[in-house]
Chain A
Amino acid sequence: MRNTTHRWGALAQLLHWTIVVLIIVQFTLAALAEDLPPLKKLGMLARHKSVGITILALAILRLAWRWANPTPALPETLKPYQRVLAHISHALMYVLLFAMPLSGWMMSSARGFPVSWFGFFQLPDLVPKNRALYEALLTTHGTLALVLGVFVSLHAGAALAHHFLFKDDVLRRMLPFTTTTQGSER
């Protein structure tokens, strides 16, 4: 359940992979909504917003869990500049986990379309209705999505490189049902 110094625990893994799946869902829904007629677009974007709020909630949980747990150390073999890059990109992805849903939520508020979580409850507006602000947030949300896409690709590429080229535990320790060379899951 909990993390160790060399392996991510079950909950951290669950949160990581759930968010991975939801981010893929988000990109898909946003792309699908693009060319739909108004009503279908409305439905698609309503789902996109609900999933986004879900990610925001999971991100909060994930960060809280990270603080309450040991963080598995980076492999000894990493060069200092690689460590710096890893830390920067991890931090940036955490920031984006918040910035993406929040910019989307603010964008909806600015547009004057309140956000609902799957129709179960309505969220408060974060900013007052403002067309110019909406336009700015729309651009921001799109740009951040692009940045997120780039860093997620780098992150996935790096994980695969660690696994297949450097043959270390970096990928394995975030996977369930695997053992790491430095110790098994507790």
Chain B
Amino acid sequence: MSKRAITQGARALPARWLSATAAALCLAAWAQGAAAQSAAAQAASPVHYVLDQAKSTLEFTFMQAGAQNKGKFTRFPVSFDFAPGNLAGSRLEVTVEIGSLDTGDKERDDTLRSADLFAVAKFPQAHFAASQFVSTASGFEALGKLTIRGVTRDARVPFTFRTADEHGVAAGYMSGKTSLRRLDFGVGQGDWKATDQVGNEVGVSFALRLTAAAR
């Protein structure tokens, strides 16, 4: 059909054309509203995730007598409310059971739990709470407060996050690494303040499997 024919047709049926246009506009407006509404709904409620402990790791590395050594924590409940599109409504809470530390050496683990180091009896848990998130080139960053051995400091933890639908289970994979200085948190009293045999810098890396859960 030519342009002219359309014009003629429109001219021939002005009322119908107008009402059709109006209807289309209404529909568009409704659709837009609905979309905005669903976006708002999504923004309002990030997905609530909890940790799949069995498939998650939280490891640390440290220099001991000039050589790099490794350890891990085996219990560290996580509560993560997250939506990449709604960082403002996202929240992260990690509680690390310090007693669960494992460097593969019982003597060393006992020493780490003792009063001069983690003082587990007095400070059984470390805690990270973040409610501020920013997007970065490689993922996200959580800005929050890290408490270890009763000392709270600002911490910035970069991480990547991806979701996966695993047979109907909404899973989230979060991983990243950062580093901290143990003496900032008083992990090392007395002789342990020396850093020649046990370094101050501690590398921390995590790879978490999270699953969506009811709040």
Selected interface stretch from A14-22, A38-46, A77-85, A152-160: A38-46
Does chain B have a CB within 8 A of A182? no
Least Cβ distance of A53 to chain B in Å?
11
Least Cβ distance of B139 to chain A in Å?
31
From the candidates B103, B111, B197, name the one contacting A43 in the complex (CB within 8 A). B197
A117-130 interface code vs B (CB 8 A; 1 in, 0 out): 11110110000010
CA distance A38 to B198 in the complex (A): 11
From the candidates A37, A46, A113, A123, name the one contacting B191 in the complex (CB within 8 A). A37
Assuming A38-B111, A129-B104, is B194 touching A113 (CB within 8 A)? no
Does chain A have a CB within 8 A of B68? yes
Chain A interface category by residue count:
20 to 34
Least Cβ distance of A95 to chain B in Å?
27
Number of A-B contacts (CB under 8 A): 49
Interface of A, secondary structure class, is mixed
Does chain A have a CB within 8 A of B185? no
CA distance A135 to B13 in the complex (A): 98
With an 8 Å Cβ cutoff, the count of chain B residues facing the other chain is 17
CA distance A114 to B65 in the complex (A): 9
Does chain A have a CB within 8 A of B66? yes
CA distance A117 to B69 in the complex (A): 15
8 Å CB interface, A27-49 against B: 37-40, 42-43, 45-46, 49
Contacts of A118 in B (CB 8 A): 66
Contacts of B191 in A (CB 8 A): 37, 39-40
| Residue contact B192 to A45, C-beta cutoff 8 Å | no
From the candidates B64, B111, B192, name the one contacting A113 in the complex (CB within 8 A). B64
Does chain B have a CB within 8 A of A89? no
Does chain A have a CB within 8 A of B165? no
Q: Which residues of B contact A (CB under 8 A)?
A: 64-69, 103-105, 107, 111, 191-192, 194, 196-198
Extra pairs beyond A43-B196, A115-B67 (4, CB < 8 Å): A39-B194, A40-B191, A46-B66, A123-B67
Q: Which residues of A contact B (CB under 8 A)?
A: 37-40, 42-43, 45-46, 49-50, 111-120, 122-123, 129
